[in-house]
Structure 1
Amino acid sequence: MPARLDRTLIRAAGPDARSFLQNVLTQDLDKLDAAGVLYSALLSPQGKVVADMMLWAAPEGGVLIEADPMRGAELMRRLTMYKLRANATLEDVSAQHSVLASEAAFDGARPDPRLPALGWRAIAASGDAPDGAAAYEAKRIALGVPDLARDAAAEEVFAGEALLDELNGVDFRKGCFIGQENVSRMKRRATTRKKFCPIAFEGAPPAPGSIVRAGEAELGTVRTGMEGRAIALLRLDRALAADAPVSVDGRAVALAPPPWLILPTVEESQS
């Protein structure tokens, strides 16, 4: 049975809704009707993530923007600022809809555009679906997928560090978007060496903010976690090249990168 996720929903409507969003977001909205849902983000001019989101095709060319409630107000503020003279409206419609998720397909659902293993999701009229936040949190940590509203502060991480490339959150061929120059340069030069990566251990997770070390060298910090596994933001080039054991608060941990994570090359790790 599908379960409900706690999400903010913003409806962008009007003749210029899609063209306005096309100019500011990382995804190509020309693909939205065929896909049904796309993973995207709003970046700062420097290329750092302000908020990530799902984009859903809505009637009459509109778009439903699904985001974490912790980023919803700032996302609305930024989009309103960037809208300028575009003939488009932005409205918070969270009270009218629910976001549902399930491991199996259900009526009206689409595959999660980030990673097939994340299951299926849909937007439906508000109802009494059970709360699925805890189960969904455990699944995404197990898969190594960061939650950018919890694993990072606003404008802390660049798009590449946030795994937007691996998780289909940026279209490098669509043309300009806010922050595009830095994102494209980092992609072209393969200079993203700090990324989110799971770590594995025995027992309860370390406290958020705990330092991950290789010997005495700092590699990064723990973010969210659960029994046996956590998401950490790490200098992967240093972590992969380290000779010393990796630990957190004196406890042994192991890097557990998923197969889809783009790792630094051997040369980058040793440089």
Structure 2
Amino acid sequence: MPPATVQTLLRRAPTVAPVANRALLSVSGSDSNVFLNGVLSTQARVPQFTSFLHAQGRILYDAFIYNDPEPSNSNGPAYIVEYSPPPEGSTDIPPLLSYLKRHVLRSKVKVRDASDRYDIWASWGGDADKSWETPRAWSWARSGCVEPAWGEELHPWGTEAGVIRDRRGVGLGRRFLVQKGDKPKEASTHDLVQPEDYLLHRVLQGIPEGNVDIPPMQALPMDSNLDIMGGVDFRKGCYVGQELTVRTYHTGVIRKRIHPVYIHKSDPSLGPFILPSPFTPGLDVKPISEGERKGPRPRGTGKLLSTTTQGVGLALLRLEHALAARAGELRLEVTEPSTGEVYRVTPWAPSWWPAPEEAPAE
């Protein structure tokens, strides 16, 4: 658990915020469900959280799939795909629109940009944002892969068009599409805040999102917690990137995961340090042995991902480093390149995360 000072950063009042840096595509037509089922890492049961993988099993895009609230034609089902577009100037990451069009072939499917139709908003803290939450149960594999077990819930992500119950974590709330330029009806009952407040909200819940936290063509699904967030189906039939993903589930070992962290200068119990500006993503997080730590010298480094000025963020860490840092046997450090200042990085496990002791014995 994080120190009490981190807990105070949580907004518990009903809150609504626009979600920045995301784009939308429309996928429609009589074959659209079958088409999506062949390229998604989950079954095409909309709405839901999912991902598009590269043939080698690395992540291209994490995504939400909505039922289109206003389909432009009635020729089959119509869906809206929400994702983070590639960083500007990137040439080696296939744009999702062209990637999907390449897979259409003779399918009766139309894929079009829809970013001019809707804005994306998130709400949390209100009754409608949490009344559907149920206690989280988990299904473990010996590799360390973990999946949410929905039990008899047929539609864990909801059923309403244009709305998703954000089940990637506990307490995230809902996510929905709103006509371009409009505000959601929740703006009259919830505190209206900025995209930066939503970033803080999901960081505090330990949820990575988009190309900063999940670098396209680099990140692996389980390293990025897609399994924990319900974004991978290990029993599904053939889809792009399936072979390596399923092999990891059955015979691999998960050695890294994204963790929420707080950044500070001294005693970890004092909590995070207010930063003048967010850190540059991708900075190395280096492990340093504390005192007379037994065992071999710690190997490898982590990577700092999204950070906020409140001194909290996300980092991709080796599991052994995260456990040792939480036990006080290791400290993790990052150097701010513009000033040369060294900060400590302390991970924690959100209360809703699957507990390691629940994992099956070797």
TM superposition score normalised by structure 1 = 0.85
Runs ≥4 residues deviating over 6 A? none
- Partner of residue 66 from structure 2, selected from 56, 69, 77: 56
Q: Give the secondary structure class of the aligned counterpart of 2:234.
A: coil
Q: Is the 8 A contact 1:39 1:169 kept in 2?
A: yes
Report matched runs for 1:33-48 at 5 Å. Answer: 37-48=47-58
- Partner of residue 111 from structure 1, selected from 165, 170, 174: 165
| Pair 1:93-2:114 in alignment | yes
| Pair 1:247-2:333 in alignment | yes
TM-superposed CA distance for 1:232, in Å, is 0.7
**CA–CA separation in structure 1 for the residues paired with 2:254 and 2:314:** 17
- Partner of residue 79 from structure 1, selected from 100, 107, 112: 100
Root-mean-square deviation (CA), in Å?
Answer: 2.8
2:233 maps to which residue? 171
| Pair 1:68-2:84 in alignment | yes
Q: How many residues align?
A: 262
Q: Percent identity?
A: 29
The 1:210/1:263 distance shift into structure 2, 3 A limit, reads: farther
Deviations 1:69-127 (CA, angstroms, capped at 9, x unpaired): 33797111111111111110101111111222111337974321312411112112223
TM-superposed CA distance for 1:148, in Å, is 3.1
Q: Is the 8 A contact 1:22 1:177 kept in 2?
A: yes
Deviations 1:231-268 (CA, angstroms, capped at 9, x unpaired): 11112134435743222234333221224446878x9x
Provide structure 1 residue ranges, at least 5 long, that are not aligned to the other structure.
none
Deviations 1:118-159 (CA, angstroms, capped at 9, x unpaired): 111211222333774211111111111112311232111111
Aligned-partner residue type, residue 212 of structure 1 = V
**CA–CA separation in structure 1 for the residues paired with 2:321 and 2:332:** 11
- Partner of residue 22 from structure 1, selected from 32, 37, 59: 37
1:193 maps to which residue? 255
| Pair 1:9-2:9 in alignment | no
Q: Is the 8 A contact 2:61 2:216 kept in 1?
A: yes
Q: Is the 8 A contact 2:255 2:318 kept in 1?
A: yes
Q: Give the secondary structure class of the aligned counterpart of 1:18.
A: helix
2:313 maps to which residue? 230
| Pair 1:211-2:297 in alignment | no
TM superposition score normalised by structure 2 = 0.65
The 1:174/1:25 distance shift into structure 2, 3 A limit, reads: same
Q: Which protein shows a greater Rg?
A: 2
Q: Which moved more, 1:204-213 or 1:41-50?
A: 204-213
- Partner of residue 223 from structure 2, selected from 144, 158, 161: 161
TM-superposed CA distance for 1:12, in Å, is 0.6
TM-superposed CA distance for 1:190, in Å, is 4.5
- Partner of residue 220 from structure 1, selected from 295, 298, 302: 302
**CA–CA separation in structure 1 for the residues paired with 2:279 and 2:225:** 22
**CA–CA separation in structure 1 for the residues paired with 2:180 and 2:322:** 45
Q: Give the secondary structure class of the aligned counterpart of 2:80.
A: strand
Q: Give the secondary structure class of the aligned counterpart of 2:171.
A: helix
Structure (1/2) with the larger helix percentage: 1
Q: Is the 8 A contact 1:142 1:229 kept in 2?
A: yes
Aligned-partner residue type, residue 209 of structure 2 = D
**CA–CA separation in structure 2 for the residues paired with 1:186 and 1:141:** 27
